[in-house]
Chain A
């Protein structure tokens, strides 16, 4: 039992550190450090920097241009990326649809879609949830009816993150409503420029436009955009959901958050309350630190199992629940540190190009926005209650 890095792994760690020191665009880093919201172009430039280094396809097989990294290398990368305050990779193309395409797509689809995903030339979004199909995703109703060489799609998808930027959407659509609801679902790729597709913003409680509703009205989609077999979409979607479990806990990001929280607490900023001597707060902070350390080792146990060729054990199902709980707790503690400066809502000071002084300490008012926004993390990707259903059924046999 050990967590030591090998010589090669240490060398790799150095290479990753060098990459972030030299190739991570300075203006993007500056925005990240100041809490400025990134624009579409920022995301693309950052992901292209990764692509140019050959590191865009972190979970991709080498034959499609992936890194072929071991679990430990991914862990090292995630930690360095979090330390460098790098943006998250927008997951819909590189992490979500690509594995479905390289696993179930035909050769033509692989050639057509994968290179542009890898190079971040095309922005993807996800069409899973519907207004009446959330936790019960399999009850989705967006219909795709075959008409010659096309499917005609009608319906509504929702919670479509960054759909306003997207060129393409991958959708679960119903092609048959006669059998079990899990059957008759198909996996379809749709060009967002197709007539009949419209995107409608949803503003979240932090005041930002991140998610959308996407409406489909008689949208004609070429049948060649169907992935795999008609009616097998549910199976593919489940594979997608379980494909990349490592990283779902976002331990590296929470570690960076905790470090930054501790710096804040020790900063002696005279615009903030002294939390260092507040035993009640410090107790919560220490308990968060303990929980995060435990989660880090739960993740390491999963990685270790995966790297020795075993399937991830039951501990992997904890990652989403605990990971999101800890992130939300840290967000909450930031709000506590911000004190009275958690109140001001001054969104323009977090927009690109803002000049001048912020209201209160730079980080403080943003903490509220993050706190409100991140209430989503225990809801998306299968609510934490759904995750507990999964544990009780699949792990405990109830």
Chain B
């Protein structure tokens, strides 16, 4: 039994922590978030140099061969800095899927530029009615003589406007609810019939709705094998849950620290408000929620890295536990900062908004809890 970090993990944590401290104070982050692109290409290239983009990619593809046990360590640190660069959609979802599912030729062609930082991709799986379970999606790719024609709409695709290519999940056979008959297509953002309505999200990041009207593709656009995408995409989404939870834990660490600091400094009734027991206990509750969430993260990360039989259930349990903790810690951090907590000026509200966003992604707490109850 061992919960200590190995060398790679220590290295990732140190480099990320230094980066956040030196290059990513809250005002810098605010400016990046408000800029045209919403993030810094220069930072993205630095991520490539630091090896972060290569972290979850197999070694024979030029990656580092890390598992979720490694990426969550990085995610925790990125969470503390509220990093706006598209690490999650491009690397942890998109590149991860290519790495596990694409043919050798496709890997060869696609991964190199991504790991260099010169090309971005994203995973277009979610639809408003089904942000997690891809068996329910309605986007269809109809088979033609030369290939496929895609029609449908993908909702809130992370950094869709920044992706050179989108990995689009569509139904190629069977019926809604079937696990078989799903495929992934590599579609260029400029492809005729594809349109992106990009926007800012509440947490200061970027996403877009992507519409497909008779998007005509050749058979070579199919990633990996036709009709077999459910398993590989599901695995990437489950790993995505673990990675989002890593980020959430980093944010919660930061919020507990910030709140404790504020309670020691802010004075009312001639005393630091941290002397009042009602607030002390609330803070203790926040701390416990954060620690329990972190324990759950480690549980699910270990199960997922080992691909244990029950790892899907572990990820659902994690999403529920993280959702509970994130809501409590986020809301109470704002509450304990009083009026300042609801100002745009302070970072607290921005951490809160990011936590709220994380809950909505890849199936909320209520969604996964309901799934667990149904399968109990």
Q: Residues of A at under 8 Å CB distance from B?
A: 1-5, 71-72, 75, 276, 279, 282-283, 285-287, 289-291, 293-298, 300-301, 303-305, 307-308, 314-315, 318, 321-322, 385, 388-389, 391-393, 395-398
Q: Give B58 Cβ to nearest chain A Cβ, in Å.
A: 20
In the A-B complex, list the 10 residue pairs whose CB atoms are closest, starting with the nearest. Answer: A297-B295, A392-B280, A398-B274, A388-B284, A391-B284, A294-B292, A298-B295, A294-B296, A304-B3, A388-B281
**Proximity bits, B1-25, A CB within 8 Å = 1, else 0:** 1111110010000000000000000
Q: Give A259 Cβ to nearest chain B Cβ, in Å.
A: 14
Instruction: Give complex CA distance A289, B373 in Å.
Output: 11
**Complex interface: chain A residues within 8 A of B296 (CB):** 290, 293-294, 297
Contacts A291-B292, A389-B277: A308 and B4 contacting too (C-beta < 8 A)? Answer: yes
Instruction: Give complex CA distance A397, B1 in Å.
Output: 30
Q: Is B352 an interface residue (CB 8 A)?
A: no
**Complex interface: chain B residues within 8 A of A286 (CB):** 320, 369, 372-373, 376
Of the candidates A282, A285, A303, A392, the one whose C-beta lies within 8 Å of that of B284 is: A392
**Complex interface: chain B residues within 8 A of A296 (CB):** 295, 299
A283–B369 touching, CB < 8 Å: yes
Contacts A321-B288, A396-B284, A398-B274: A1 and B4 contacting too (C-beta < 8 A)? Answer: yes
Of the candidates A283, A304, A314, A389, the one whose C-beta lies within 8 Å of that of B280 is: A389
Of the candidates B281, B292, B299, B373, the one whose C-beta lies within 8 Å of that of A322 is: B292
B286-336 interface (Cβ within 8 A of A): 287-288, 291-293, 295-296, 298-299, 301-302, 317, 320-321
B264–A397 touching, CB < 8 Å: yes
Instruction: Give complex CA distance A294, B297 in Å.
Output: 8
Contacts A287-B369, A391-B287: A300 and B263 contacting too (C-beta < 8 A)? Answer: no
Instruction: Give complex CA distance A388, B9 in Å.
Output: 32
Q: Give B257 Cβ to nearest chain A Cβ, in Å.
A: 9
Contacts A290-B296, A301-B298, A388-B285: A308 and B2 contacting too (C-beta < 8 A)? Answer: yes
A395–B287 touching, CB < 8 Å: yes
**Complex interface: chain B residues within 8 A of A3 (CB):** 1, 302
Highest count of chain B CB atoms <10 Å: which of A290, A304, A307, A322: A290
B260–A398 touching, CB < 8 Å: yes
Instruction: Give complex CA distance A291, B9 in Å.
Output: 27
B1–A72 touching, CB < 8 Å: yes
A2–B2 touching, CB < 8 Å: yes
Highest count of chain A CB atoms <10 Å: which of B263, B284, B296: B284
B3–A300 touching, CB < 8 Å: yes
Q: Give B44 Cβ to nearest chain A Cβ, in Å.
A: 28
**Complex interface: chain B residues within 8 A of A395 (CB):** 284, 287
Q: Is B69 an interface residue (CB 8 A)?
A: yes
Of the candidates B277, B293, B369, the one whose C-beta lies within 8 Å of that of A294 is: B293
- Shortest Cβ distance from B263 into A: residue: A398
Of the candidates B69, B281, B298, B299, the one whose C-beta lies within 8 Å of that of A392 is: B281
Instruction: Give complex CA distance A389, B283 in Å.
Output: 10
Q: Is B275 an interface residue (CB 8 A)?
A: yes
**Complex interface: chain A residues within 8 A of B284 (CB):** 388-389, 391-392, 395-396
**19 contacts across the A-B interface (CB closer than 8 A):** A75-B1, A282-B373, A286-B369, A286-B376, A294-B292, A296-B299, A297-B296, A297-B298, A297-B299, A303-B1, A304-B1, A308-B2, A308-B4, A314-B287, A315-B295, A318-B287, A318-B291, A392-B283, A395-B284
Q: Give A248 Cβ to nearest chain B Cβ, in Å.
A: 15
Instruction: Give complex CA distance A327, B287 in Å.
Output: 20
Q: Give B312 Cβ to nearest chain A Cβ, in Å.
A: 14
B373–A1 touching, CB < 8 Å: no
A301–B3 touching, CB < 8 Å: yes
- Shortest Cβ distance from A318 into B: residue: B288
**Complex interface: chain B residues within 8 A of A392 (CB):** 274, 280-281, 283-284
Instruction: Give complex CA distance A285, B4 in Å.
Output: 32
B3–A290 touching, CB < 8 Å: no
- Shortest Cβ distance from B292 into A: residue: A294
A307–B1 touching, CB < 8 Å: yes
Contacts A1-B302, A285-B376, A398-B263: A298 and B1 contacting too (C-beta < 8 A)? Answer: no
